[in-house]
Structure 1
Amino acid sequence: MTKKAFREYLKNNILILDGATGTELQKKGMPRGVCPEKWVIENKEVIMDIQRGYAEAGSKVVYACTFGCNSIKLSEFDLQDELEKMNKELVRISREAVGNDVWVAGDLSPTGAQIFPLSNYHFEDIVNAYKPQVKALVEAGVDLFVIETMMNVNEARAALIAIKETCDLPVMVSMTYEKNGYTLNGTDPVTALITLQNLGADAVGCNCSTGPDDMTNIVKAMKPYAKVPLIVKPNAGLPKYEKGETVFDMDEEEFSDYGTLLVEAGANIIGGCCGTTKAFISKLKNKVEDCEIKLWNEKQGSVLTSERKRVFIGEDNPTIIVGERINPTGKKKLQENLRNGNMDYVVSLAYEQIEKGATVLDVNVGMNGIDEVGIMRQAVEQLSTYVKVPLCIDSSTIEAIEAALRIYPGRALVNSISLEKHKIDRLLPIAKKYGAMFILLPLSDSGLPKDIDEKHNIINEIYSHAEKLGYQKEDIIVDGLVTTIASNGNAAESTLETIRWCSDDFGTGTIVGLSNISFGLPERKLINTAFLAMAIGKGLTMAIANPSDELLMNIKKASDVLAMRDKDSLTYIDSFGKQDKIKVKKEIGQTKSEMNNGNEIDVKQTIYEMVVNGEKETIVDYVKKSLDCGDIPQVIIKEYLIPAIAKVGELFEDKTYFLPQLIMSAEAMKVAMDYLDPLLEKGKDNNIEQKKKIVIATVKGDIHDIGKNLVALMLKNYGFDVIDLGKDVPKEVIVDKAKEVDADIIALSALMTTTMLEMENVIKLVKEENLRAKVIIGGAVITDEYAKEIGADGYSEDANMAVKLAKKLTRD
């Protein structure tokens, strides 16, 4: 199927997908703990019966049962060598079941691996885990692809890139969102949509985790920005426990009623996930097939994204300050850190600029004597994990820009693309491939334009090239091309006219590098600030500047008010409204500190901030310094480390932090604790408490362990003795280990509705063996109600709550 045919179908039809696969397979006898894909191949009549049922109920698309058939997932069952054969056979089975009138989608799912720096898997490892699967599915003859149940937008990007670099079939991408409206990594639906549709997804949406009621709000949020069809595949409500089985709280009638609301909200593609059956799909099709089709949009606006934030540019939005300080030119300290591959200082510069008001960060690591491509990749990996704001990728080396765009978990800005042949021929297609916006620099191979007319001609010619690749004017920011007023008295007037022309006539946003205007003059900040105010008056939307310049930032805020870009003057009032305003100490976690004078107070604050900020590389140096200042290990743990990780927990609870930040902070504390533990052993005469023992495991049949690993790490950081048994652990192994170590708590994790029932089997065995251990449970599909129904002693929805629960249950 072509992308054009896919889109044409959706202009005239609501596309009906299939329903659940996993829960249906389990009902039909698939045991827990097996490789589902292998079991389906060995019992093909089961899946064929399910998929025939969906086709008869009205599904136009069925998902081939290739959900976990990537190399990383299959390696959990030592089946990676059978990847090609299994994928092809699973497609063949689906095609035999539904024929040629129903489309068969190649189904890609999460690998279960985190991406560096949260694990040892780099972005390219994830791309390469998907590519063999994609190749096999294409050769097997799938009609299209679906990337589903994604919790990490960058893993979704990796799967999408793997498909784009293999074939030209349509691709639907579906994220899964928590009850709070974010993915596990902190991405909201609109940010995910903008990132993925610009990368080339043919449809974007959500599936699993929640029922159709919650998904209605997600669709409503996405629709105003959707340039592609929207997909929804909700569960049959929420899971609950009844008579030894997991059931869902919606019947097909209620589910199909919500289907109508989803289509009215703007969904173009709809089906069912966990708990739905052919009866659900039949009712759903009957309800929605006559609904009015709400087409997607032609535009989304000028917008950049990171993994956890989106920034709209122009129109009524405030002028964007692009922080310029991550650039080694003239900065010896930054140069030294880049040569050593130390990204802590780079991240500290990022935090400092964000705190001062930068909403985008320019990243340039170009200097002699380094591997610029490798260092740029490291910088982007670290910055995209630690900071929320989008990045502007800045380099004269095309390979460095491509390396950054490939791994960046959002929609970046490229600085810059001119009419120079190598930029137009090489860099422009790269920017488009990765969905980036770009700064249009009105230069050609002949150099600077001679006059304003030539500048306008160059701008038009560059845009003509970009338009052929699919760019719109909202995807481009024109550089006003500032030259120094000291050597060219017309410099300011020429740039201001370009800004006005772009804003009023040409229809694009604009950007300037402010410092160029004042080069060679005294009191440069006065010239820069005055020029910024004039430029904002002409319509300037972005400026590359140093946000630490207080005068410039204050004038920028005032200019936004006067140019009607600060609605109701709210930003201005927040900054200056209280004349007696006391400057409050900046929030820990927004800046990285450095030790000033080496005294005890600075060391204590630095250790605290290093945990909050996840600075694991150098934290031991400061722990040693604290010991040199006379602190004993117990003091460092109780007064520095524990309060810091508690602060991290607070930031996680109020959604300032998400999974990546929680992991990085926990790992920083673990590094410090690993150093201190042997010293604690030496000082046992200091009345150290006996650690409470916790046995933790992902239950039999479930091979997901990201959440479990984080819980184990957090519990260790709070002083518990944690015995981690891993994933897919039989009940007998869990109970035997708990008996062996006389555990205080058994902590169980399950991510899937098909494996959550195993938790009850563990609890029953604990009671049969009369263990004193309390049992706590958690995981994406687990609820407090379910915990009570199966007799667990407690439920935790995340790692921070698990610590609180464990402390409560072990309190003497």
Structure 2
Amino acid sequence: MNTAQFKELVSQKIQILDGATGTELQKRGMPTGVCPEQWVIENPDTIKQIQKAYIHAGSNIIYTCTFGGNPIKLEEFGLGDRTFEINRKLAQLSREAADGKCLVAGDIASTGRFIKPLGDMPFEVCVDIYKEQVRGLLAGGVDLFVIETMLDIQEARAALLAVKECCDLPVCVSMSFDESMRTLTGTDSVTALITLQSLGADAVGCNCSTGPEHMLEIIAQMKPYARVPLMAKPNAGLPRLSNGATVFDMGAEEFGSFTSRFIQAGVNLLGGCCGTSPEYIRELDKGCGNLIPQNFVCSQYSAVSSSRKTVFFGINKPVAVVGERINPTGKKKLQAELKEGSTNEIRRFALEQLEKGAHILDVNVGMPGIDEKEVMVNTVSLLGSICDAPLCLDSSSPEVLEAALRIYPGRALINSISQEKVKLDRLLPVAAKYGAMFILLPLSDEGVPEKAVQRQAIVQEVYKQAATYGYQKSDIVVDGLVMTVSSNQEAALETLKLIEWCSREFGCGTIVGLSNVSFGLPERSWVNAAFMSMAIAKGLTMAIANPSSDLLMCIKMACDVIMKNDINSRNYISYFNNLDKPLQGENEKRADEKKTGERIFDAVLNGDNEGIGRLIEKAVEEKTAPQDIVDLYLIPAINQVGKFFDEKKYFLPQLIQSAETMKTGFTFLEPMLKQKKEKEEKADIVIVIATVKGDIHDIGKNIVGLMLRNYGFKVYDLGKDVSAERIIEEARELKAHIVGLSALMTTTMVEMKEVIKLAKEQSLSCKFMIGGAVVDDDYATAIGADGYSRDAYEAVKLAKKLSIQEDAQHN
């Protein structure tokens, strides 16, 4: 099947997917703790029975039993070297079950590890890992691919690229969102959609984590921006414990009653996840009746994204400011840092520009004496972890831009593509492959045309070629190419003509680099601001500028109001409510004006793992007591990080970056710290953590362990797939005050109860806390746990609470 056939298929009829596989295998005798893929190969009739039951119930597409079929997951069972063979065989089994009656989708899921900088796995290693699985599934004869239950947009990108670089089959991508409608790493549903459909996904959607009602909200958020079909695979409500087994609170009939609502919301592919069975799929099929799928052609819009935020811009919207300061031209300190591999100035420029109102950050690291590609990749990786703003990747080198696009965890803006042959031939295909928007520079190999009409001709020609790669006018932004008026007073007027033609006739966005117009003149800010006002009146949609210029930003805000692009003046009012003294310089102390202690606080807050050591050394040289550094700066900073995480101002990447910075700070201080007498006499709070038997997921547990250690707890991590007997034995031997249990699967969450039951039988008095995507407060109460935490920061707060209770019991 090719992508055109897939598109035609889902536009004509709702495609019913299958339901849960793991629970169905367990019903038929698969024991916990085994490798499902290997067990199915050894018991082939079982999977064929399950899949035939789904087909009989109405499934048009069934998934291969390869959820854990990537090399990393298989290696947990010593089977990593058999990845190709296992995937090929499992795909063949599904084809035998299908018997030509439905399509077979090669199922791909998470490796369980994070990609750098969030984790330790290089992006290309992740792509290659998935390619090995993809090749096996292709050999087994799958019709299409489904990448499902993804928690991290970067890992989803790696899997999607792996499929697309191996074949031309359709590929669907399904993310898992929590109650806040974000993934584990903070990506919201619209950002995930825009990133994945731009990268070439043939369908995008969500599965697991939530029941039908909540998933309908996620689909409703996606639909207005969907250029591809949407898919949904909700759980059968919420899990609960009943007679020692995990059950879900929604029956098949109630589950099926949501079918029409999903179709009305815009879903083209619909199935079930945890807790569902062939009975549930039968109800979905029954609910479809003669309902017709919605069209997945949406209205035009322009948008770029980071891993956690989308910025919309364009005609009739407020002017988007692209911060220009991450550029070594004329900046000696930044040049020196780029040569030595330091990132202090990049961090400072990024955070200051965002604070001043930049929507997008331009990133240009081109200068002699460095490996521009390596520096650009490192800079993109850094900025992705410390800030939410989308990036404009700025380089004259196609190789540099391609390397940056490959690892960029969103939809980038490229600066720029012109009619120059090297740009059209080499960069346009790369931009299309990675789904990037691009700035169209109206110049050719002959140079810069002076007149607007000549530039118009280049714009039309470049767009004509871009359209062959699937680009629409909303996917490009034309650079007005303003030249300095000090040498040619006609230059600005010609640029204004081009901007007006683009916005009023051609129908695309426009951008200008404001500083160019005033080059060579005194008091340049007035010329820049006046030109920007005139350009906005002609339809300008973006400006590359320094957002620290209050004059420029204030006039931009006013122009947005006058042009009716700022609805009810909301942005204007918000901006001036937060601007105490417009036109009068900085409102807060500059970083170099802050005391060392304040800068240590900021380093933890901003995740500056590189700079924290130097700052602590400086504070010690200034005679600040090591314990004061901890009590006055490090602990308050990590508490503030936790508060931001609670308020959804920070997400997992920032949390981990700050935690690592805190850890580095303690490493510097540890040899100097002298424990107070009362602390020496008081035993450390010991916490034992483990993922329970049968469950090999440990991402959440590892993050919890990191955070607990940074708050002073003594943590012993027993790993994953740990039996109840070993957990209790280790807890007793280590004299644990608290035991933390994790489970990500509905089939293994019952093991938590077994651990607590065994502890009571053996009179172990420690407290128990639980966590994981499939559990909640009610489940904690049902199994006798002392508390539940939904994330790493809540785990810290719960551990503090439980440790106080432990102290009270022993005193």
Query: In structure 2, what is the equivalent of residue 781 of structure 1?
Result: 774
Query: In structure 1, what is the equivalent of residue 794 of structure 2?
Result: 801
User: Could you tell me how far 1:139 is from its partner in structure 2?
Assistant: 1.8
Q: Are the counterparts in 2 of residues 302 and 312 from structure 1 also a CA contact under 8 Å?
A: yes
Q: What residue identity is the alignment partner of 2:62?
A: V
Q: Are the counterparts in 1 of residues 687 and 736 from structure 2 also a CA contact under 8 Å?
A: yes
Q: What residue identity is the alignment partner of 2:625?
A: I
Query: In structure 2, what is the equivalent of residue 105 of structure 1?
Result: 105
Query: Relative to structure 1, is the Cα distance of residues 448 and 583 closer, same or farther in structure 2, using a 3 angstrom cutoff?
Result: closer
Range 621-630 or range 90-99, more displaced: 621-630
**1 CA distance for matches of 2:754 and 2:625?**
45
Q: What residue identity is the alignment partner of 1:537?
A: A
Query: In structure 2, what is the equivalent of residue 743 of structure 1?
Result: 736
**2 CA distance for matches of 1:386 and 1:584?**
29
User: Could you tell me how far 1:261 is from its partner in structure 2?
Assistant: 0.9
1:259-658 equivalences under 5 Å are 259-576=259-576, 594-596=591-593, 602-658=595-651
User: Could you tell me how far 1:576 is from its partner in structure 2?
Assistant: 3.0
Matched, 1:757 2:750: yes
User: Could you tell me how far 1:299 is from its partner in structure 2?
Assistant: 4.0
Per-residue CA deviations over 1:344-372 (Å, capped at 9, x if unaligned) read 32122111111111101100010111111
Match of 2:670 among 666, 677, 701: 677
User: Could you tell me how far 1:316 is from its partner in structure 2?
Assistant: 3.0
Query: Relative to structure 1, is the Cα distance of residues 185 and 579 closer, same or farther in structure 2, using a 3 angstrom cutoff?
Result: closer
User: Mind listing any 5+ residue stretches in structure 2 that lack a counterpart?
Assistant: none
User: Could you tell me how far 1:125 is from its partner in structure 2?
Assistant: 1.3
Per-residue CA deviations over 1:773-798 (Å, capped at 9, x if unaligned) read 11111011111111111111111111
**1 CA distance for matches of 2:674 and 2:632?**
19
Query: In structure 2, what is the equivalent of residue 693 of structure 1?
Result: 686
Q: Are the counterparts in 1 of residues 225 and 298 from structure 2 also a CA contact under 8 Å?
A: no
Tell me the TM-score normalised to structure 2 length: 0.97
Query: Relative to structure 1, is the Cα distance of residues 422 and 299 closer, same or farther in structure 2, using a 3 angstrom cutoff?
Result: farther
**2 CA distance for matches of 1:688 and 1:318?**
61
Q: Are the counterparts in 2 of residues 13 and 293 from structure 1 also a CA contact under 8 Å?
A: yes
**2 CA distance for matches of 1:592 and 1:128?**
47
**2 CA distance for matches of 1:14 and 1:296?**
13
**1 CA distance for matches of 2:586 and 2:759?**
49
Query: In structure 2, what is the equivalent of residue 792 of structure 1?
Result: 785
Query: In structure 2, what is the equivalent of residue 149 of structure 1?
Result: 149
Query: Relative to structure 1, is the Cα distance of residues 369 and 763 closer, same or farther in structure 2, using a 3 angstrom cutoff?
Result: same
1:78-157 equivalences under 5 Å are 78-157=78-157
Tell me the TM-score normalised to structure 1 length: 0.97
Per-residue CA deviations over 1:292-324 (Å, capped at 9, x if unaligned) read 321101544111111111111113321011000
**2 CA distance for matches of 1:519 and 1:689?**
67
Any idea what SS the aligned residue of 2:204 has? strand
Question: Aligned Cα RMSD in Å?
Answer: 1.9
Query: In structure 1, what is the equivalent of residue 222 of structure 2?
Result: 222
Query: In structure 1, what is the equivalent of residue 66 of structure 2?
Result: 66
**1 CA distance for matches of 2:448 and 2:186?**
43
**2 CA distance for matches of 1:18 and 1:488?**
67
**1 CA distance for matches of 2:559 and 2:18?**
54
Q: Are the counterparts in 2 of residues 749 and 778 from structure 1 also a CA contact under 8 Å?
A: yes
User: Could you tell me how far 1:429 is from its partner in structure 2?
Assistant: 0.5
Q: What residue identity is the alignment partner of 2:401?
A: I
User: Could you tell me how far 1:124 is from its partner in structure 2?
Assistant: 1.1
User: Could you tell me how far 1:594 is from its partner in structure 2?
Assistant: 4.1
Per-residue CA deviations over 1:412-466 (Å, capped at 9, x if unaligned) read 0000000000100110000000000000000011111142222111111001100
Range 734-743 or range 506-515, more displaced: 734-743
Matched, 1:192 2:161: no
Any idea what SS the aligned residue of 1:293 has? coil
Query: Relative to structure 1, is the Cα distance of residues 743 and 470 closer, same or farther in structure 2, using a 3 angstrom cutoff?
Result: same
Q: What residue identity is the alignment partner of 2:257?
A: D
Query: In structure 2, what is the equivalent of residue 666 of structure 1?
Result: 659
**1 CA distance for matches of 2:580 and 2:343?**
38
Q: Are the counterparts in 1 of residues 499 and 539 from structure 2 also a CA contact under 8 Å?
A: yes
Q: Are the counterparts in 2 of residues 480 and 511 from structure 1 also a CA contact under 8 Å?
A: yes
Query: Relative to structure 1, is the Cα distance of residues 444 and 688 closer, same or farther in structure 2, using a 3 angstrom cutoff?
Result: farther
Query: In structure 1, what is the equivalent of residue 699 of structure 2?
Result: 706
User: Mind listing any 5+ residue stretches in structure 1 that lack a counterpart?
Assistant: none
**1 CA distance for matches of 2:382 and 2:539?**
34
User: Could you tell me how far 1:688 is from its partner in structure 2?
Assistant: 6.5
Range 532-541 or range 259-268, more displaced: 259-268
User: Could you tell me how far 1:757 is from its partner in structure 2?
Assistant: 1.0
**1 CA distance for matches of 2:402 and 2:299?**
25
User: Could you tell me how far 1:596 is from its partner in structure 2?
Assistant: 3.9
Q: Are the counterparts in 1 of residues 450 and 494 from structure 2 also a CA contact under 8 Å?
A: no
Query: Relative to structure 1, is the Cα distance of residues 580 and 724 closer, same or farther in structure 2, using a 3 angstrom cutoff?
Result: closer
Q: Are the counterparts in 2 of residues 14 and 289 from structure 1 also a CA contact under 8 Å?
A: no
Q: Are the counterparts in 2 of residues 57 and 278 from structure 1 also a CA contact under 8 Å?
A: yes
User: Could you tell me how far 1:401 is from its partner in structure 2?
Assistant: 0.3
Per-residue CA deviations over 1:522-558 (Å, capped at 9, x if unaligned) read 1111111100000000000001111111111111111
**2 CA distance for matches of 1:154 and 1:556?**
34
Query: In structure 2, what is the equivalent of residue 725 of structure 1?
Result: 718
**2 CA distance for matches of 1:793 and 1:593?**
46
User: Could you tell me how far 1:96 is from its partner in structure 2?
Assistant: 1.2
User: Could you tell me how far 1:630 is from its partner in structure 2?
Assistant: 3.2
Q: Are the counterparts in 2 of residues 220 and 266 from structure 1 also a CA contact under 8 Å?
A: yes
User: Could you tell me how far 1:489 is from its partner in structure 2?
Assistant: 1.4
Query: Relative to structure 1, is the Cα distance of residues 420 and 467 closer, same or farther in structure 2, using a 3 angstrom cutoff?
Result: same
**2 CA distance for matches of 1:331 and 1:28?**
67
Any idea what SS the aligned residue of 2:748 has? coil
Q: Are the counterparts in 2 of residues 322 and 359 from structure 1 also a CA contact under 8 Å?
A: yes
Q: Are the counterparts in 2 of residues 188 and 308 from structure 1 also a CA contact under 8 Å?
A: yes
Per-residue CA deviations over 1:223-275 (Å, capped at 9, x if unaligned) read 11111100000000111110000000100111011122111111110000011
User: Could you tell me how far 1:605 is from its partner in structure 2?
Assistant: 1.0
Runs of 4 or more consecutive aligned structure 1 residues displaced over 6 Å after TM superposition = 578-587
Q: What residue identity is the alignment partner of 1:794?
A: G
**2 CA distance for matches of 1:123 and 1:343?**
21
Any idea what SS the aligned residue of 1:679 has? coil
User: Could you tell me how far 1:684 is from its partner in structure 2?
Assistant: 5.6
Q: Are the counterparts in 2 of residues 234 and 273 from structure 1 also a CA contact under 8 Å?
A: yes
1:4-15 equivalences under 5 Å are 4-15=4-15
**1 CA distance for matches of 2:582 and 2:704?**
39
Q: Are the counterparts in 1 of residues 705 and 717 from structure 2 also a CA contact under 8 Å?
A: yes
Any idea what SS the aligned residue of 1:417 has? strand
Q: What residue identity is the alignment partner of 1:278?
A: P
**1 CA distance for matches of 2:683 and 2:368?**
55
User: Could you tell me how far 1:631 is from its partner in structure 2?
Assistant: 3.4
Q: What residue identity is the alignment partner of 2:753?
A: E
Per-residue CA deviations over 1:570-598 (Å, capped at 9, x if unaligned) read 122223369988999999xxx9974547x
- In the comparison of the two structures, how many residue pairs are matched? 805
Q: Are the counterparts in 1 of residues 360 and 391 from structure 2 also a CA contact under 8 Å?
A: yes
Any idea what SS the aligned residue of 2:672 has? helix
Per-residue CA deviations over 1:274-301 (Å, capped at 9, x if unaligned) read 1100010011101013223211015441
Q: What residue identity is the alignment partner of 2:491?
A: A
